[in-house]
Structures are given as C-alpha cells and as structure tokens.
Amino acid sequence: MCEEKEARAAVLAATRGMLEHRLTSGTSGNVSARLDGGTIVITPSGLPYQDMGPGDLVVITMAGEPVTPGAGGLAPSSEYQLHTACYQAFPEVAAVLHSHPLYASMFAAARQPVPAVIDEAVIFLGGEIPVSPYAISGSARVGTNAVSVLARRASALLASHGLVTVASSPAQALHYAVVSEHCAQVAWGAQALGGHVPLPAATLDTFGEAYRRARGGLS
Ligand SMILES: [Zn+2]
C-alpha cells in the first residue's frame, strides 16, 4: 500500500466493513494503512464512520506527528500508537485494524486466548489468538504490549478491551478480523458443548507455516 488516494479509499472501505460485520459501533475502533515515506493514513478521532469521507482521514508520521490533518482539523485516532507500534515492529505489515467485536471482547475480558478450534484460525491467523497484557486505552503501552504477541499471529486480544489485527491491506485486515470474531464465537459455543477437540499437530504445523510464509518478513 503506497498510493495515498488508494490507501484512503481502502481504509474507508474497511471501516464500513467493520460496521457491516458488527465488529464495532459508534466511533469506536480504528483503521490505518502504511504509506510511502514513513507515514500512515488513519481514521480520525470521534467521527462516526457513516459520516466519514476520504478527506477526513489523517496522515501522521510514525512518531505521531501530524502531516495532513483530517478535514476541519480532525486529529488522529486516540489509539494511533497501537498502529504505529505495529508498523515499526513489523515491516511486512501494511494495514492495522482495531475493533471491539462481541465474542472476541468476551475472551479479552476473561483474558483468555481464543483457541484455534477450526482450521481457518491457523490458515488466516497463524493459530490461537493470544492475549496481550493490559494497558490503559490510548497509551503507548497498548501498542508495545500488542507487538509482543503479534510476531506470528494476525490478531491479538487487547486485555479487557478488544481486538487488533495486522495484515497486508485494509481489506485483508477486515477479513482477518471477521475470521477472528467467527473463531471466538465458535470457540465459545464449543466450550458450551463440553469443549473443542484440539486440531492435530500436523494441521497446526502445515497451516501455521503457510500463514508465516504468506505474511513474509518472519525469520
Ligand atoms: Zn478500542
């Protein structure tokens, strides 16, 4: 992702997808894409998604310094440090999506990882969805804590908060976030039915390796 106009459209489309898939509501959650030159384009703070246009998105540096404010001087999402931390830690990541889906948030509140109960969890997410340690919303620590568990996973739970997903594009981040919420719901249901049957080790190895290859940038 490098061309700014395309990146703005892709970020906006992903925000609309978050609403359609009920991954978030109101003004919560945020989406960004990496641009050339060490900057990112990110959703603004406090603007409902249904009212958001491409000109409302904000361009900032990795240090959070404003490059292009949103229309009318809109500031970047208060969680921008979660996004910049992911880009700085993982050069292969080109999009970050933070959401508050119901079932994933239940696991985040219980501070329990979402187990890899179905093949899709391994193919698209790399395996179980880990829990990153708690940090207060809007702090730099949310980012550093998330990075500590995202090296080999597409999604992480933010303890007592929600979900963060990294990918190669905003559309892929949306897809992975939808898969994450689906896995959390299936895991919850499987627990109610007496517990899931663990996937075979060969499945975890084969599909886990496929995820790592597809993601790139991993040793
Ligand atoms: Zn949040």
Position 219 pLDDT exceeds 80: no
Q: State the distance from the centre of ligand 1 to the C-alpha of 82, rounded, in angstroms.
A: 10
Distance 217 CA to ligand 1 centre (A): 27
CB 15 within 8 A of CB 6: no
User: Taking 90 as the threshold, does the pLDDT of residue 27 lie above it?
Assistant: no
Q: What is the pLDDT of residues 177-203, one digit of tens each?
A: 999 999 999 999 999 999 999 999 999
CA angle centred on 174, ends 168 and 178, rounded to 5°: 130
pLDDT at 110 over 70: yes
Buried residues in 14-48 as b, exposed as e (16+ CB within 10 A):
bbebbbebebbeebbbbbbbbbeeebbbbbbbebe
Tell me, in angstroms, the distance from the centre of ligand 1 to residue 219's CA: 30
- Residue 190 has what pLDDT? 97
The Å distance, Cα 162 to ligand 1 centre, comes to: 6
CATH architecture designation of domain 4-215? 3-Layer(aba) Sandwich (3.40)
Q: Where are the domains of the chain?
A: 4-215
pTM: 0.96
Q: How far is the CA of 163 from the centre of ligand 1 (A)?
A: 8
Distance CA 177, CA 114 (A): 13
pLDDT at 1 over 80: no
Grade residue 8 by pLDDT with cuts at 50, 70 and 90.
Answer: very high
The model's pLDDT over 148-187, given as tens digits with 9 standing for 90+, comes to 999 999 999 999 999 999 999 999 999 999 999 999 999 9
Helix axes 170-192, 4-20, angle to 10 degrees: 20
Q: Are the C-beta atoms of residues 124 and 178 closer than 8 Å to each other?
A: no
Q: How far is 124 from 172, CA to CA, in rounded Å? A: 10
pLDDT tens for 34-80 read: 999 899 999 999 899 888 999 999 999 999 999 998 888 899 999 99
